[in-house]
């Protein structure tokens, strides 16, 4: 069963099956995915620590709140997109029956990073405007562009085609995507809460920093992996005529 989860990437999956597939792939290639994430997370967290004095689990004082907000922005527009690009390219290799190699995946991920970043920035701005407007448009747009980074990384045709393609893939699957987002959020929030409970102050001690980097590496890697599998799940759903007429999505289609 695990072999099918790993090798048969582009097929329809339930939320539970996506999570199981992500776990199966992570168990098969733990060092690869850990390296892909920690290679981005560790420099980011160490740079933040050196500038603000606040560790991964630390809390900000008023004097460093603005700088930490800037780091959050950097994470959104650069760190997160890079991790997504690296992970989806590794999944592409797995789906093709190849063992992903760290150097090759890193090169391909860096090569498409500009278009992934551009797509994420534009989507993020429009989603934020949607939340400012009436909240509900922001929710719909966040679902519409849930796999924009993965689309941009795989297609590499530009940020505008990536936005369009993500809309096409997601437009009849909003409840499916929302369910996965909730499940991943609960899992990752629980992990972060459990491991961050013992941290007080700025969390800048060596042990706390190393633990924080390890925990955020796992969280970022697992999240990126589930979204990569979601991307291929949505591609499979788009190619299934029966799914396109499923009535349970009619209300959300009307909103799209």
pLDDT tens by residue, 160-181:
999 999 999 998 999 999 999 9
- What pLDDT, in 10s, does the model give residues 209-223? 888 899 999 999 999
Task: Decide: residue 4, CB within 10 A, 0-12 exposed, 13-18 middle, 19+ buried.
Answer: exposed
Q: Per-residue pLDDT for 226 more than 50?
A: yes
Residue with tokens 């209300």: 251
Q: Per-residue pLDDT for 253 more than 90?
A: no
Q: Per-residue pLDDT for 250 more than 60?
A: no
CB atoms within 10 A of CB 140: 18
Band (251; pLDDT cuts 50, 70, 90):
very low
Chain centroid offset of residue 99 CA: 22
Average pLDDT over residues 106-111: 95
Whether 231 and 84 have beta carbons less than 8 Å apart is answered as no
Band (203; pLDDT cuts 50, 70, 90):
low
Chain centroid offset of residue 116 CA: 12
DSSP three-state, residue 2: helix
| Backbone dihedral angles phi then psi of residue 200, each to the nearest 5 degrees | -125, 155
């Amino acid at each position: 069963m695990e072999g099918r989860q790993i090798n048969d990437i582009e097929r329809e999956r339930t939320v539970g099956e996506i999570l199981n597939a992500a776990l199966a792939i992570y168990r098969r290639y733990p060092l690869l995915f850990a390296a892909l994430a920690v290679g981005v997370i560790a420099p980011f967290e160490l740079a933040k620590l050196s500038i603000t004095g606040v560790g991964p689990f630390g809390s900000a004082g008023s004097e460093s709140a603005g700088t930490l907000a800037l780091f959050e922005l950097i994470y959104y527009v650069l760190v997160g997109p890079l991790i997504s690009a690296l992970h989806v390219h590794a999944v592409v290799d797995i789906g093709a029956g190849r063992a992903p190699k760290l150097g090759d995946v890193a090169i391909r991920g860096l090569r498409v990073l500009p278009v992934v970043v551009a797509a994420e920035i534009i989507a993020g701005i429009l989603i934020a405007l949607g939340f400012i407007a009436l909240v509900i448009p922001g929710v719909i747009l966040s679902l519409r562009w849930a796999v924009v980074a993965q689309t941009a990384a795989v297609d590499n045709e530009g940020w505008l085609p990536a936005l369009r393609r993500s809309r096409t893939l997601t437009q009849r699957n909003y409840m499916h995507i929302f369910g996965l987002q909730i499940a991943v959020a609960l899992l990752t929030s629980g992990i972060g809460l459990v491991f961050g409970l013992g941290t007080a102050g700025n969390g800048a001690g060596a042990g706390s920093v190393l633990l924080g980097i390890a925990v955020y590496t796992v969280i970022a890697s697992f999240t990126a992996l589930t979204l990569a599998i979601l991307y291929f799940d949505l591609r499979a759903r788009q190619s299934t005529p029966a799914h396109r007429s499923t009535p349970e999505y009619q209300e959300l289609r009307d909103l799209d």
